[in-house]
Amino acid sequence: MATRINKYLSEVGYCSRREADRLIEKSMVKINGKIASLGDQVEETDTVTVEGRNVKPHNDFVYIALNKPVGITSTTDQKIRGNIIDFMQYPKRIFHVGRLDKDSEGLILMTNDGDIVNEILRAENAHEKEYIVQVDRVLSADFASKMSSGVPILNTITKPCTVEKLGPKRFKIILTEGMNRQIRRMCEFFGYGVVSLKRTRIMNITLDVPVGKYRYLTEEEKQTLFSLLNK
């Protein structure tokens, strides 16, 4: 059965589909010695290489919950100083599920299962992500209701979300979408500057390790995650 080349690279655990498309566009991927194009199909008997190295299927997938520190960039590009791959120094090739901007800290999932990356990131799946945010001035009485009902940023309006005040300058927010620097932009719209931002949950996975440390997902967490993803 034939599989699209970007899906193949994600299924065998080489990278996410988005990263696969980037590699294909840079002519770094070959199928049976010929440079691959977006949309090319791969058969089971085909030989696929990336930058001259054979890519083979494997099933020893790892699923990791990392507490990313401030200052680390969510990228697999090791030319970028402070990238998440160099920071972790993990012995296998892994990649991040989504992003957490350099100025933020908290939970980010790392894996070599490219398919799970796509399922979690699909906007239409509306998977929850929870954050704790500290701002630079006292929150107004109606802040939570205004923030939760949709905010105009990036030429669109954010989806309704859950917002709970935790203190004079602190709140919890649960999003089901992931625009670029979304929470910071939402706060800026109402005149607040973000002092600190920490992601504490992705779907059923909660943050419970110190900053800079990581752990493997438990079997129970993996099974629940897979069921939420219909995987």
DSSP the chain: --EEHHHHHHHTTS--HHHHHHHHHTT-EEETTEE--TT-EE-TT--EEETTEE--------EEEEEEPTT-B----TTSTTBHHHHH--SS--EESS---TT-EEEEEEES-HHHHHHHH-GGG---EEEEEEESSPPPTTHHHHHHT--EETTEEPPP-EEEEEETTEEEEEES---TTHHHHHHHHTT--EEEEEEEEETTEE--S-TT-EEEPPHHHHHHHHHHTT-
Q: Contact at 8 Å (CB) between 53 and 67?
A: no
Active site residues: 101
Q: Contact at 8 Å (CB) between 97 and 120?
A: yes
Distance separating alpha carbons of residues 173 and 153, to the nearest angstrom: 17
